[in-house]
Structure formats: structure tokens, C-alpha cells
């Protein structure tokens, strides 16, 4: 089978397409014929060596959608021919930028018939991270106000849809060209992240929950705009400045700040199943900006960290 691999850490140029042997599923594994694989910034962290994968050479890619080709001996609920999607590969298992991927059954769910493979392949990291941040950690409740920084991003746009599905009032920030789409995805208010008066504009809403992908830049901002006792969840590969816990506004408002990683999710399949229900009901949509062939995986990884776009980039075998 064809797979993207890297034998050493480095830039996008270390990625190449190789012919390798197709794997065989073990007892709790599915062999999935990959239809689409989401491209995420975390894929580039593994490739660069910021996070060490369990072995080299490595195939990148956490997210996937596709069709079950073969099953292991203990895979109740799945059979050959099932449409599936999932996440959580590319770190401790070979990844999804390949024609086939071995997937443990605790990282996969059935893909609804009305959800296309590109949307399913891009849902994993984005939607599960949003779920963990807003539901598991922040405990977002109906009618609360939720601020989502960077609503046009992969996690950001999924968080907008998820927060709207809970009945929260959703405020988000993005470049002006993305405002209309974000409103279609469920945002009540979309503000220009470059607005000189952004703090004043957001402060009017006094968010109870804040999802922040750049705490190193925005924690002071969050403390200024949040309501008393607000919950802030930080995602992304950011490093808050030393001593940020002593920000006077954060202390005065008794804010809760939670850092998280999707890879620590105790049961990915349970969250994926709920994400699937929301996608089936069309209350949560994954927007795909563009797709790349395997041979252009390096360009896709460059674009995911350097370019502005709304939603997800995909690799298609």
C-alpha cells in the first residue's frame, strides 16, 4: 500500500510517499481503507519532534474516515463494509496519511450515511477537542455565553457549532471574510479579531466560558472580559508566561483555567459517537477548505500552520 512516512524529524520536506506492506488487524483492531485524513497542526508537532512519536519511520495523521476492510477477532459492533471515522492515531500508532490504517476500536465510530467522507475525516481532532474543552472541562450550559477565539480554525469552527448545539450564546472572533460562514455554523456574534476595540466589544457579553488557543497572548484579555467565576480552557501548543496565575484580574474574578490535550481523552469512541449524532442531525458541520493527494502531504502540513482558511485541510489517498 502507499503511505506517507518520515524517517527523521524536520520540516515538510522529510515527508515522502512509500510503498509498504499492508498491515493485518489484531484482536481489537480494524483495518480501514482510508477515504480522507484530516490535517492538523499537531501532525506537524510530531513531525518536527516537539512530541516524540513511539517509533520511526512514522506515518503522520490523527484523523480519518473510510470503510472497514477487515476486522480483528474482538471487534463487536463493526464489520467489513462499515463506514467509519475516528481520531487518535499518529502518535502511539502509525497514522492515517495512507491507503489503509490500523485503528483500535476505542478510537473509532460509525459514520452516518448523510455525512460525506471529507467531513467525517476532518471531524476527529476538531470536534473531540471542542467537546472535551466545552463540555467535559468547562461544563458549558444552555443560555451561557461562550467566547471562542479563532472561530475559523479547525477546532474553532467545530466549537462554534457544538456550543450552538448546547443552546449557548456563541461569540467568536475571526477575519471578516469568514463572518458569514461562522454565522451559518451557529455563531450569534462574530467580531474581527484585529479590531482595536476588541476587548471592549467582547467585554459587553461577559462570557462565562472561554475557549482559547493562544493563552500566551490572550490570557490577560480573557481575564479582562470574563464574568466572575468564568471557566477558561486552553488548547494548542502555547506557553503561558511564567506567573500568569497571578494576573490580578484573574485572581479577583476567581477564574478557572484548564489546560488540556485531546490525546488524554479516556474514551475517544464515546465522544465520537456523540459527534456522529450531531453531524447526522446537521447541528454540527465540519467545513472542508481543500484536499490534497498523498504526494502533497508536505504542502498540506505547511499550509495548516502558515495559511489562513476556514475549517479543515484534508489528505485523500
What CATH number is associated with residue 196?
Answer: 3.40.50.720
Single pTM value for the model: 0.94
Asked if 17 and 114 sit in the same domain, the reply is yes
Asked if 47 and 173 sit in the same domain, the reply is no
| 8 Å CB contact between 193 and 205 | no
Q: What is the pLDDT of residues 69-128, one digit of tens each?
A: 999 999 999 999 999 999 999 989 999 999 999 999 999 999 999 999 999 999 999 999
Q: What is the pLDDT of residues 51-75, one digit of tens each?
A: 877 789 999 999 999 999 999 999 9
189: β partners: 171
| pLDDT of 242 higher than 70 | no
Q: Which three cell numbers stand for residue 263?
A: 490525546
Q: Please report where in the chains the cell 474553532 appears, as a residue.
A: 156
167: left (phi over 0), alpha (psi -120 to 50) or beta: left
Asked if 142 and 255 sit in the same domain, the reply is yes
Query: 209: helix, coil or strand?
Result: strand
Asked if 138 and 200 sit in the same domain, the reply is yes
Q: How far apart are CA 44 and CA 46, in angstroms?
A: 5
Asked if 145 and 220 sit in the same domain, the reply is yes
Asked if 91 and 103 sit in the same domain, the reply is yes
Helices 154-166, 268-280: crossing angle, 10 deg rounding: 70
Asked if 134 and 110 sit in the same domain, the reply is no
Q: Please report where in the chains the cell 477558561 appears, as a residue.
A: 232
Q: What is the pLDDT of residues 133-165, one digit of tens each?
A: 999 999 999 999 999 999 999 999 999 999 999
What length is written for the chain?
317
Asked if 176 and 192 sit in the same domain, the reply is yes
Asked if 275 and 215 sit in the same domain, the reply is no
| 8 Å CB contact between 279 and 119 | yes
What CATH number is associated with residue 104?
Answer: 3.90.180.10
What is the reported pLDDT for 236? 80
Its domain, for residue 45, covers 2-123+267-316
Q: How confident is the model at residue 251 (pLDDT cuts 50, 70, 90)?
A: confident
| 8 Å CB contact between 131 and 271 | yes
* Number of domains making up the chain: 2
Asked if 228 and 147 sit in the same domain, the reply is yes
| 8 Å CB contact between 171 and 202 | yes
| 8 Å CB contact between 149 and 156 | yes
Domain-ending residue, one of 262, 279, 295: 262
Query: 288: helix, coil or strand?
Result: strand
Domain-ending residue, one of 262, 280, 307: 262
Asked if 95 and 52 sit in the same domain, the reply is yes
Mean pLDDT of the chain: 94
Asked if 23 and 71 sit in the same domain, the reply is yes
Amino acid at each position: 500500500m502507499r503511505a506517507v512516512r518520515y524517517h527523521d524529524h524536520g520540516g515538510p520536506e522529510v515527508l515522502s510517499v512509500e510503498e509498504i506492506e499492508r498491515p493485518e488487524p489484531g484482536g481489537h483492531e480494524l483495518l480501514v481503507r482510508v477515504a480522507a485524513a484530516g490535517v492538523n497542526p499537531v501532525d506537524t508537532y510530531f513531525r518536527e519532534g516537539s512530541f516524540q512519536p513511539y517509533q520511526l519511520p512514522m506515518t503522520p495523521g490523527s484523523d480519518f474516515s473510510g470503510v472497514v476492510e477487515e476486522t480483528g477477532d474482538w471487534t463487536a459492533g463493526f464489520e467489513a463494509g462499515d463506514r467509519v471515522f475516528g481520531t487518535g492515531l499518529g502518535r502511539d500508532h502509525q497514522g492515517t496519511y495512507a491507503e489503509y490504517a490500523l485503528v483500535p476500536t476505542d478510537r473509532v465510530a460509525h459514520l452516518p450515511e448523510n455525512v460525506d467522507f471529507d467531513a467525517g475525516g476532518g471531524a476527529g481532532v476538531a470536534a473531540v477537542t471542542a467537546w472535551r474543552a466545552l463540555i467535559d472541562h468547562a461544563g458549558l450550559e444552555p443560555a451561557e455565553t461562550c467566547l471562542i477565539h479563532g472561530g475559523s480554525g479547525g477546532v474553532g469552527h467545530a466549537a462554534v457549532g457544538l456550543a450552538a448545539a448546547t443552546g449557548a450564546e456563541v461569540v467568536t472572533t475571526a477575519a471578516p471574510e469568514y463572518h458569514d460562514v461562522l454565522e451559518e455554523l451557529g455563531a450569534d456574534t462574530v467580531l474581527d479579531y484585529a479590531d482595536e476595540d476588541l476587548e471592549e466589544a467582547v467585554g459587553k457579553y461577559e462570557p462565562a466560558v472561554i475557549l482559547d488557543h493562544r493563552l500566551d497572548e490572550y490570557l490577560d484579555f480573557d481575564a479582562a472580559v470574563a464574568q466572575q467565576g468564568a471557566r477558561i480552557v486552553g488548547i494548542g501548543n502555547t506557553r503561558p508566561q511564567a506567573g500568569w496565575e497571578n494576573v490580578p484580574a484573574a485572581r479577583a474574578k476567581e477564574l478557572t483555567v484548564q489546560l488540556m490535550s485531546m490525546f488524554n481523552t479516556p474514551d475517544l469512541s464515546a465522544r465520537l459517537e456523540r459527534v456522529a449524532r450531531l453531524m447526522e442531525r446537521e447541528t454540527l458541520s465540519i467545513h472542508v477548505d481543500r484536499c490534497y493527494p498523498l504526494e502533497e502531504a508536505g504542502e498540506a502540513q505547511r499550509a495548516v500552520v502558515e495559511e489562513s482558511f476556514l475549517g479543515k485541510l484534508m489528505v485523500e489517498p
